Amino acid sequence: MPELPEVETVVRGLAQHMVGRRIQRVEKNRPDLRTMMPVDLVQRLEGRRVDAVRRRAKYILVDLEGGDVVIAHLGMSGRIVISQPGAAPNRRDPHDHVVLHLDDGTVLRFNDARRFGRIDLARVEDLAQHPLLAGIGPEPLDPAFDGPVLAAALAGRRTAIKTALLDQRIVAGIGNIYACEALHQARLAPSRLAMTVAGARADRLVLAIRDVLGRAIEAGGSSLRDYVQTSGELGYFQHAWTVYGREGEACRRCAAAPPVLRVTQGGRSTFYCARCQR
Tens digit of each residue's pLDDT (9 = 90 or more) over 156-207:
999 999 999 999 999 999 999 999 999 999 999 999 999 999 999 999 999 9
Per DSSP bridges, beta strands 68-73 and 78-83 are unpaired
The pTM (predicted TM-score) of the whole model is 0.93
Task: Answer yes or no: 2 catalytic.
Answer: yes
Q: What is the pLDDT of residue 95?
A: 94
Tell the CATH topology of 147-272: Helicase, Ruva Protein; domain 3 (1.10.8)
Q: What is the pLDDT of residue 231?
A: 65
Tally of CA atoms within 13 A in the half-sphere of 90 that contains its CB: 18
* pLDDT at residue 235 is higher than 90: no
CATH of 4-129, one of 3.40.1800.10, 3.20.190.10, 3.90.79.10, 1.25.40.10: 3.20.190.10
**pLDDT tens-digit series, residues 108-146:** 999 999 999 999 999 999 999 999 999 999 999 999 999
* pLDDT at residue 224 is higher than 80: no
Q: Report the share of the chain in percent with pLDDT over 90.
A: 80
| Residue from 3, 6, 8, 181 carrying the catalytic annotation | 3
| Averaged confidence pLDDT in the chain | 92
Q: What is the pLDDT of residue 212?
A: 95
Task: Answer yes or no: 162 catalytic.
Answer: no
DSSP 56: E
Mean pLDDT (whole number) for 94-103:
96
Q: What is the pLDDT of residue 41?
A: 98
Task: Answer yes or no: 139 catalytic.
Answer: no
For CATH 3.20.190.10, the residue range(s) in the chain are 4-129
| Residue from 48, 55, 56, 58 carrying the catalytic annotation | 58
Q: What is the pLDDT of residue 253?
A: 86
Question: CA dist 111 to 2, 182, 260, Å?
Answer: 14, 30, 35
Three-state DSSP at 265 gives strand
If you write DSSP's letter for every residue of 96-138 in order, what string do you get? EEEEEEETTS-EEEEEESS---EEEEEEGGGGGGSTTTTT---
Q: What is the pLDDT of residue 239?
A: 72
* pLDDT at residue 229 is higher than 80: no
For CATH 1.10.8.50, the residue range(s) in the chain are 147-272
* pLDDT at residue 225 is higher than 60: no
* pLDDT at residue 269 is higher than 60: yes
Mean pLDDT (whole number) for 40-62:
98
Q: What is the pLDDT of residue 247?
A: 94
Task: Answer yes or no: 65 catalytic.
Answer: no
Name the least confident of 118-122, 131-135, 239-243, 274-278: 239-243
| Residue from 22, 28, 262, 268 carrying the catalytic annotation | 268
Extract long-range pairs of 230-237: CB within 8 Å, 24+ residues apart: 230/9, 230/10, 230/13, 230/14, 230/17, 230/80, 230/81, 230/82, 230/108, 231/13, 231/81, 231/82, 232/81, 235/5, 235/6, 235/9, 237/5
